[in-house]
Amino acid sequence: MKKTKLYKIIILLLIATSIMQISISRADIEDEENIDQNEIQNEVIQAQNEIIQTSATAESDLKLNARIGLIYDRNSKTILYEKNGQKQVPMASTTKIMTSIVVLENANLSDIVTVDKKAASTGGSRLGLKTNDKITVHDLLYGLMLKSGNDAAVALAIHVGGSIQGFSELMNKKAKEMGLVNSHFVTPHGLDEKEHYTTAYELACMADYALEIPKFKEIVGSKSYNITINGQSKIISNTNELLGNLNGVYGVKTGFTNGAGRCLVTACKRDNLDIITVVLGADTKKIRTTDSIKLIEYAYKNYEIVNIKEIIQKEFERWKDLNEKRIYINKGKEEQIHLKISELPYDKIAIKKKEKDSISTEFNSLYYLEAPISQNQIIGSAKVLINGKILGTLDITAENSIAKKEILDYIIEFLKLVP
């Protein structure tokens, strides 16, 4: 009887282990599923209708089912909306955005890679590489970003970094160069590891950086591509369900692991409004898709691009016309100072349509100055506000230098006064 119970326990343990192995092997494999175009179109329509029906004009109106969501304005590099956007979380295959950056900046696209056993045996979503297969770095990148191939990620990592650890060091070095402080990389593919994490905000920053690389933008914007392995052609399709199904979408990357949930980073541009949305920790692929659509439609319903540089400059010119001549230069060889204003790090910004008329500027400056005055010397400041909230503070500086009067200057002035 005791032996029977022991056998049952052993069998149950074996079954549990098998289930766990299947679960692990399924990590990030959802990306290989075929995209049902009709289903995606229905989800697009439903999400768009939800935004319209709820009259979503405030952040509180935007109901997401995923644990994390974010909208990032590419023009101003600022967050338009976030739900847990600064929380450190696993990132699944969205990791491959950074993998691509490191490869594109450190490898020759025409290099031929011979796939080793480690890459060929990598689980999860796969390009289908076998040991000793030969493929270019260029085609591996397509396999990485379209097919979400974990085997392609390892092959690239070993080729560029010598090993997964060596490549991870390059990834972390690049993250530091980019000013990312809440991201850390252990793998090139994103399968769950304790010390492998990022935030939605920093993931948007990575995507924004990567999209400035023409080849990256070309890859993630491709619905399909014909790669070559061992001289044989193979057509692969993009796992990004919104590409080609939602107006303006031009990338970026899907992802799924048990730890990260369903993830999707999306780039979308309509007219001048260029955004990146991030959805992490969705429980289903449908939630991932729907929440991404909600974020995109919310942004385009409520935001528009304004030329903030032009607005500030116009306001400054008005203020300067009234105040520049009021500034007194004591002991200066010249009586008139010419002023200029510094600039924000961007020319355009996305702001809520209802706040377009609430942009204002507040100017402050010194009206008494002692010579000498150097060029670019700060003599005042300007606050830029939107709806009463400070967007930024700019310096008002001297455009010209003014020397201090010398004895000879005073003598000449005196002689001019003598009749």
Residues marked as catalytic:
93, 96, 148
Distance CA 169, CA 92 (A): 18
Burial 229-245 (b: 16+ CB within 10 A, else e): beeeebebebbbbbbeb
Q: Burial-class residue 403 by CB neighbours within 10 Å (0-12, 13-18, 19+).
A: middle
Instruction: Give phi and psi for 302, each to the nearest 5.
Output: -110, -15
Rounded-to-integer distance, Cα 166 and Cα 187, Å: 10
Interior/surface letters 51-83, b for 16+ CB within 10 angstroms, e for the rest = beeeebeeeeebebbbbbbbbbbbbbeeebbbb
Angle at 87 between CA 20 and CA 262, to 5 degrees: 40
CA 280 from centroid of its chain's CA atoms = 14
CB 388 within 8 A of CB 368: no
Give one DSSP letter per residue of 132-186, joined into a string: T-EEEHHHHHHHHHTS--HHHHHHHHHHHHSSHHHHHHHHHHHHHHTT-SS-B-S
Residue 130 and residue 391: Cα distance in Å, rounded? Answer: 54
How far apart are the C-alpha atoms of 157 and 189, rounded to whole Å?
A: 9
Task: Quickly tell me which residue has 């909208």 as its tokens.
Answer: 71
Q: Which amino acid is at 162?
A: G
Residue 417 to residue 419: CA distance in whole angstroms: 6
Longest CA–CA span in the chain (Å) reads: 130
Of all helices (H) and strands (E), which one includes residue 263?
A: strand 261-270
Cα–Cα nearest to 187, from 157, 148, 222: 157
CA distance 62 to 248: 21
